Structure 1
Amino acid sequence: MYGEFLVTTLVVVAIPGSGVLYTIAVGLSRGGAMSALAALGCSLGVVPHLALAVSGLAAVVHTSPVVYRTVTYLGVAYLLYVAWSTLRARGAVAGSEHATPAAAGRVVVTAVAVNLLNPKLTLFFLAFLPQFVPAGAPDAAVRMAGLGGVFIAVTLVVFLGYGRFAAVLRRHVVTRPLAMTWIRRVCAVTFVALALRLAVAQP
């Protein structure tokens, strides 16, 4: 059962979504250290969704169209903001890897928000975790929390890998302003596409 859980988790986490794309964008623009912070932030952004699922409050989100849509549209707005910020970014030159604490903080906060404002994660945990917990188990909440912790750990490791790959690629394009411009444009368009997909998704 747990082997199946790990395989499923790896597949789900590895599929590029808003968190993966944000981590890659940071790796391309700011290097490995900052991409690691983005990976950490995206992983932390999953924690509230897990807490909602374990506590049973995820059902409230699922059954309340107002709550669900409110969070959804906040997520859409934030993804559009990230797209705009990515597009207007400049430079990504040598030395930007050594960012100030304030810049590092912004990366973490943005990464947390990218995953926090995605109600699909809450519904995913609501549907996913109970499949691996025996029905009626007295410690069901503890088991779900444990599985969720594994999911978050896998998310961190996979995202760190994506960020590292992007940072390595960065070394080959950082001296090419035109290439960096097109990378920013592609990332921005992708964030817009994710925002649109989130906006039309059904709960």
Structure 2
Amino acid sequence: MDWLGFALAVLLVEITPGPNMAWLVSLTLADGRRAGLLATAGVAIGLALNAALSSLGLSALLVNFPAIGTWVGVGAGLMMLWLAWRGWQATTDSSSAVVAGRATHRVLWAGVVINLLNVKAALFFLTVVPRFLSGPDPPLREILLLGLISVGVATLVHLSLVLGAGRLRDVLTRPDRVGPVRRVLALGMVVVACWFFYSALG
């Protein structure tokens, strides 16, 4: 089993810009490090469940019934639009803090659901993972280990993005900059929403 080669393959995939990356950065800049960390945890849980289902062969359902992933992607896009609208309205430190406090549990579950039913992640496990196994009939522990490596690498990349965005947010959220910055980030959320719609419907 080539676990090191697999880890490098996962890293190359994860550093390629995608909806998860854009969502985590935009969310952290808009609502703070805590929201970003909770979203990262949700993404990790969703990817771990996706990997577990893949090891059992259940993720083939997502491949054979792509409509499931399509509706999840559309739902993710609608959620991004809602976050954008909320961010556009919250233009002061106090209002944004209140809204962020209410929304943190939602971003955790959003990360779980979006990545649990992530068709691209399922395809990755079904097509790429077998190339790094020890043989055509590997033990289940090998598949689970590669799943853990995939989730671990992805989570490290996501954490670095969230922590970096958190540092940047400290600079951008000075009182005289809060309103304009939040409106720019709201527009960024609209771009992320369009990205989700394109990924789901394209």
> Structure 2 length as normaliser, TM-score?
0.85
1:8 aligns with 2:6: no
The superposition leaves residues 134-185 of structure 1 with CA deviations (integer Å, 9 ceiling, x where unpaired) of 223441x220111111111111111111001111111222131112211220
Shift of the 134–193 alpha-carbon distance from structure 1 to 2, 3 Å rule, reads same
Segments of 5+ residues of structure 1 without an aligned counterpart are none
Please list, as runs of the form range in 1=range in 2, the aligned pairs for 1:60-75 lying within 5 A after superposition.
Answer: 60-62=61-63, 64=64, 67-75=65-73
Query: Are 2:106 and 1:117 equivalent residues in the alignment?
Result: no
Q: How many residues align?
A: 195
**Which deviates more, 13-22 or 154-163?**
13-22
- Distance, in Å, in 2 between the alignment partners of 1:92 and 1:18 is 27
- Relative to the length of structure 1, the TM-score reads 0.85
Flag the 1:60–1:108 CA change in 2: closer, same or farther, 3 A.
closer
Q: 2:74 aligns with which of 73, 76, 82?
A: 76
Work out whether residues 69 and 200 of structure 2, in 8 Å CA contact, stay in contact via their aligned partners in 1. no
Name the structure 1 match of 2:85. 87
For 1:15, the aligned partner's letter is T
Gaps of 5+ in 2: none
**How far did 1:122 drift?**
0.9
| Partners of 2:54 and 2:24 in 1: CA distance | 25
- The letter for the 2-side match of 1:167 is G
Aligned match of 1:162? 161
What is the match of residue 104 of structure 1?
Answer: 104
Change (3 A) 1:97 1:41: farther
Which whole-Å CA distance do the structure 1 matches of 2:127 and 2:92 have between them?
Answer: 40
CA distance in 2, matches of 1:38, 1:190: 15
Q: 8 Å contact 2:24–2:40 — kept in the other structure? A: yes
Alignment of 1:24 onto 2:20: no
Identity of aligned residues (%): 25
Whether the 8 Å contact between 1:49 and 1:116 is mirrored in structure 2 is yes
1:148 corresponds in structure 2 to: 147
| Cα offsets for 1:15-74 (capped at 9, x unmatched) | 222222221122101222221111111111112221221011233432x3xx22133223
* Aligned equivalents of 1:33, 1:73: Cα separation in 2: 28
Where 1:46 maps in the other structure, the secondary structure is: helix
For the Cα contact (< 8 Å) 1:30–1:97, is it kept in 2? no
Q: Is the 8 A contact 1:10 1:154 kept in 2?
A: yes
Contact 2:72–2:114 (8 Å) recurs in 1: no
Flag the 1:154–1:122 CA change in 2: closer, same or farther, 3 A.
Answer: same
Q: Does the 8 A contact of 1:31 with 1:97 survive in 2?
A: no
Are the aligned partners of 1:84 and 1:188 in contact in 2 as well (CA < 8 Å)?
A: no
**Post-superposition shift, 1:92?**
6.7
Q: Report the secondary structure of 1:183's partner residue.
A: helix
CA contact (8 A) 2:11 2:153 kept: yes
CA contact (8 A) 2:77 2:197 kept: yes
1:35 paired residue number: 36
1:52 aligns to 2:53 (yes or no): yes
Conserved? CA contact 1:22–1:111, under 8 Å: no
